[in-house]
Amino acid sequence: MLRLGPNPIQIREMEMDDILLSRLKLLVIMGKSYIEGCPCGRHRRSAMLENARRLESASINLGNLDTGSPHPNPKWGSMEVDHIFFQRVKLLAVMIKAIGKGFPMGAHRKHAMRENIDIICETIAVNHPSDMPFLRVA
């Protein structure tokens, strides 16, 4: 029998950071697919909106974006990121929320979203190089 998955030594309980990172990956995939012209049905828009809302509030809390004084080196799971990363995540969430609500997006906004997604992917790839094949789906 073929066993797939992590070794029993690597298994651990999921934390909130794992879920938020998964939500970020999902938003990246959804954003890339939207930019490439994939259709957005009612269920996809609903999923975009819900995940973007949750990730937006989490990025505000984790990056201390609401206080105006960002934490010097916040840790997000095993990643060390700065407050600018959380601002980029928040921007992506706001853009995805606009798509989820059905607002039109012009060429300049698509270009800005593509650049933002690329920078977020670079940050994730530096901290988690094994995750990049997952992000190349869209």
Q: Tens digits of per-residue pLDDT, 126-136? A: 655 555 555 55
> Would residue 6 count as lying in a domain?
no
> Would residue 79 count as lying in a domain?
yes
By the 10 Å C-beta count (0-12 exposed, 13-18 middle, 19+ buried), 63 is classed as: buried
> Would residue 113 count as lying in a domain?
yes
Our CA angle for 32, 131, 8, nearest 5°, is 145
Which is nearest to 138 in space by CA: 32, 20, 48, 1? 32
pTM summary value: 0.77
- Which range of residues forms the domain containing residue 110? 21-129
> Would residue 91 count as lying in a domain?
yes
Q: Tens digits of per-residue pLDDT, 92-124? A: 999 999 999 999 889 999 999 999 999 999 888
> Would residue 63 count as lying in a domain?
yes
> Would residue 135 count as lying in a domain?
no
Query: Above pLDDT 70, what percent of the chain?
Result: 70
Count how many domains the chain has.
Answer: 1
- Does 72 score more than 60 pLDDT? no
> Would residue 3 count as lying in a domain?
no
> Would residue 4 count as lying in a domain?
no
